Amino acid sequence: MNKEEKDKMVLSLKIIRDSFFGNCVSTKDKQLLLEDLSARLPYGVKVTTTNPAAEFGVMSGISIKGKISVSTKDADIVFECTEVKPYLRPMSSMTLEELEEYRRFGDYIRDAECKIHIANYEQIHWLNAHYFDYRGLIEKGLALEAPEGMYN
């Protein structure tokens, strides 16, 4: 493959990546994503990536430099955090049974928009363990809505 062909291929991959992931992730959003993914590491959060060979996997590690390790059926691959999107459940998908379980860790408050406000660490732990998007990552385009039943 000559240099011109390589350059065309690289440009094509960048266009695909940018159309799927967006071409501008602010530093603040990148930090938010890293903080969120760090808290979810013990729970095997499922992710999609920009790499066609590893489109789908489970996050298996995170480095202090913001690199995300993803385990696929074939290998572990390392990505920049902006090349990974977790699958999360919107808060609106919480069932009544889950809400009762959540309440074991303390009272909760719903505001005028029916958003649940977190009162303590146990609630944060529970939300992470059940893959709920309590930080609004789906709205910001930093995460994808998990299909129903993905985490059952």
Q: Count Cβ atoms below 10 Å from residue 63 Cβ, excluding itself.
A: 11
pLDDT grade for 61, boundaries at 50, 70 and 90: very high
Give Cα separations from 127 to 26, 57, 100, 103, 131 (angstroms).
Answer: 25, 21, 13, 11, 6
pLDDT grade for 54, boundaries at 50, 70 and 90: confident
- Level-2 CATH architecture, domain 3-90+134-145: Roll (2.30)
> What is the Rg, in whole angstroms, of the alpha carbon atoms belonging to the chain?
17
pLDDT grade for 146, boundaries at 50, 70 and 90: very high
Segment 103-145, tens digit of pLDDT = 888 776 666 565 666 778 898 899 999 999 999 999 999 999 9
What is the mean predicted confidence (pLDDT) over 64-79? 89
| Domain boundaries along the sequence of the chain | 3-90+134-145
Give me the pLDDT at residue 13, please: 46
Segment 10-41, tens digit of pLDDT = 455 455 445 545 545 788 888 899 999 999 99
Show Cβ contacts of residue 111 under 8 Å, excluding neighbours closer than 6 positions. Answer: 117
pLDDT grade for 102, boundaries at 50, 70 and 90: confident
Note whether 60 and 46 are within 8 A (CB): no
Give me the pLDDT at residue 45, please: 96
Q: How many Å apart are CA 21 and CA 47, to the nearest integer?
A: 13
